[in-house]
Amino acid sequence: AQKITQTQPGMFVQEKEAVTLDCTYDTSDQSYGLFWYKQPSSGEMIFLIYQGSYDEQNATEGRYSLNFQKARKSANLVISASQLGDSAMYFCAMREGLTAGANNLFFGTGTRLTVIP
């Protein structure tokens, strides 16, 4: 079974609008972490935001927020006030466990976001 599922291969959003990118995860661990990365056309993966499984508050970083719904096992990324520079691939990822060394990330297949002027 896939550990991370991103069901939206592509999304379009109007400039200055908000957009939600979906991510669901599958784990039986109680301790885990969820990440979102952005990959522009240049290819480099850029870390955006992190949510720990024990964090009660949804993570926020500037225009990015993570809508964490533990019971639904979802970790959607919300980008507010979209900008043209937000056009990129977005990957959701999960780390299981907290043991040192056991920190592999499982990645989803990504969502390509296009911001329309």
What is the size of the binding site for another protein (CB under 8 A)? 25
Q: Which residues from 12-31 bind another protein, rule CB under 8 A?
A: none
Task: Please answer whether residues 5 and 94 qualify as being in contact, where contact means their C-beta atoms are separated by less than 8 angstroms.
Answer: no
Q: Is 36 in the site for another protein (CB under 8 A)?
A: no
Choose the binding region for another protein from 15-23, 46-54, 62-70, 74-82 (rule: CB under 8 A).
46-54
Compute the distance between CA of residue 79 and CA of residue 52 in angstroms, rounded to an integer.
19
Burial 28-65 (b: 16+ CB within 10 A, else e): eeeebbbbbbbeeeeeeeeebbebebeeeeebeeeebb
Q: How far apart are CA 7 and CA 74, in angstroms?
A: 12
**Residue recorded with tokens 């400039």:** 15
Q: Does 56 bind another protein (CB under 8 A)?
A: no
Exactly one of 1, 42, 57, 85 binds another protein (CB under 8 A); which one? 42
11 scored as a contact of another protein (CB under 8 A):
no
Question: 19, 24, 33, 66: which one contacts another protein (CB under 8 A)?
Answer: 33
Instruction: State yes or no: residue 45 binds another protein (CB under 8 A).
Output: yes
The DSSP element (H or E) to which 95 belongs, if any, is strand 88-96
Binding site for another protein (CB under 8 A): 4, 9, 33, 35, 37, 42-47, 50, 52, 91, 93, 95, 100-101, 103-105, 107-110
